[in-house]
Amino acid sequence: MSILVVVEQREGKLNRVSMETLTAAQALAAETGWPLEAAVVGSNVAAIASEVGGKKLAKVYAIENAKLEPYTPDAFAHALKQFVTTKNPKLVLMPHTYQVRDFIPKLATAMGRTAISDCIGYKKEGEKLVFTRQMFQGKLAADVSFTSEAPWFVTFQNGAFRGDKVEAGASAAPVETVNVDIPDGVIRNKPQEIFKEAKQAVDLTQADIIVSVGRGIKEQKNIELAQQLAEALGGELAASRPICDNGWLPMDRQIGSSGQTVAPKLYLALGISGAIQHIVGMKGARTIVAINKDSEAPIFEIADYAVVGNLFDIVPPLIEEVKKSKT
């Protein structure tokens, strides 16, 4: 019985979100008494394995094969299936990154198992472990349990645990290299170089004040109203994904998992319902103001100040009040 955390590396660098998963795993290890081990998957990942070995855990495995670089779901699922089958851990934990969600359903299915994905926490209820995940775009939460045999696969949402709370080890954990076999023909996809679409014109991470618009803005011409509020406040204009998908604002003004992650002093959300993908990009804001006509919108869960109402009624006088306060 053990807990295995598969940390994420990309192009030789440890993805920091892995530390959040390690924090969760350390807490789970303390509660269950199961030893905690970690694994890094890739080619020449010994240095990353050593870095992870500095944390409080029993052992780190460097799962190596030249065919693991660049990442493909075929190679990763194949390598991890071999490794997990041999080690037979009780729990396999990973961060819910775009890379993990690309291969973990394949891995779990190939092993006749299941993954509870995108969890935000866990509870130990007697001998039973349940994992909490958001459903219906964050309107409800569900406690989900495994009804199958271990290994149990779980992914944790970005920001669900504090990466800076991960405990360092008293001494460095041993690192073992495991060379896995990946026969020719396993890998079917040929990935090309990773690239950025265009130079990001706006760096929203530097903005102190952000006025962000969502579907509630209804039409492109109404963006002007939000723009006026942003100008009055001396802030930047941003948006949730649907607004950028519609082309009402450029993609580089998008906040969320596929856009920018920001932590301004003030985040003013206009007509944003607060889907998980958006929340992960802005929940670090110091003060969050939400204006939305739907009183059950998940954005209100994380708002400091909530206004339930029509943004078209509230924003015009708000612009005037902000202007007044600045003179």
- What residues between 49 and 88 interact with another protein by CB under 8 A? 73-74, 77
Q: Which residue has the tokens 């271990």?
A: 150
Stretch that binds another protein, among 30-38, 61-69, 220-228, 314-322 (CB under 8 A): 314-322
Q: If binding is defined by CB under 8 A, does position 301 make contact with another protein?
A: yes
Give the C-alpha separation, 174 to 167, whole Å. 16
Identify the three-state secondary structure at position 9.
strand
Minimum gap (Å) between residue 238 Cβ and another protein: 14
Minimum gap (Å) between residue 22 Cβ and another protein: 19
Nearer residue to another protein within complex by CB, 46 or 110 = 110
- C-alpha distances out from residue 224 to 27, 115, 249, Å: 48, 44, 11
Q: If binding is defined by CB under 8 A, does position 278 make contact with another protein?
A: no
Selected from 33, 188, 219, 221, the binder of another protein by CB under 8 A is 188
Minimum gap (Å) between residue 80 Cβ and another protein: 13
Q: Kindly identify the residues of this chain, within the stretch 106-135, that bind another protein according to CB under 8 A.
A: 106, 109-110, 113-118, 130, 133-135
Stretch that binds another protein, among 51-59, 85-93, 217-225, 312-320 (CB under 8 A): 312-320
Minimum gap (Å) between residue 203 Cβ and another protein: 11
* Residue burial 152-188, b: 16+ Cβ < 10 Å; e: rest: bbbbbbbbbbebeebeeeeeebebeebebebeeeebe
Stretch that binds another protein, among 32-40, 161-169, 217-225, 311-319 (CB under 8 A): 311-319
Selected from 47, 58, 202, 209, the binder of another protein by CB under 8 A is 209
Residues 6+ apart with CB under 8 A from 190: none
Selected from 42, 89, 259, 274, the binder of another protein by CB under 8 A is 259
Q: If binding is defined by CB under 8 A, does position 289 make contact with another protein?
A: yes
Q: If binding is defined by CB under 8 A, does position 253 make contact with another protein?
A: no
Give the C-alpha separation, 31 to 29, whole Å. 5
Nearer residue to another protein within complex by CB, 53 or 138 = 138
Give the C-alpha separation, 236 to 298, whole Å. 23
Selected from 33, 164, 201, 326, the binder of another protein by CB under 8 A is 326
For residue 321, the surrounding DSSP H or E stretch is: helix 311-325
Identify the three-state secondary structure at position 287.
strand
Residue 65 contacts residue 31 (beta carbons within 8 Å): no
Q: If binding is defined by CB under 8 A, does position 284 make contact with another protein?
A: no
Q: Which residue has the tokens 């041993």?
A: 174
Stretch that binds another protein, among 43-51, 83-91, 168-176, 185-193 (CB under 8 A): 185-193
Binding residues with another protein: total (CB under 8 A): 95
Q: Are strands 115-125 and 128-135 parallel, antiparallel or unpaired?
A: antiparallel
Cα–Cα nearest to 52, from 29, 23, 82: 23
Selected from 44, 85, 88, 148, the binder of another protein by CB under 8 A is 148
Stretch that binds another protein, among 48-56, 86-94, 168-176, 238-246 (CB under 8 A): 238-246
Residue 255 contacts residue 264 (beta carbons within 8 Å): no
Give the C-alpha separation, 265 to 150, whole Å. 44
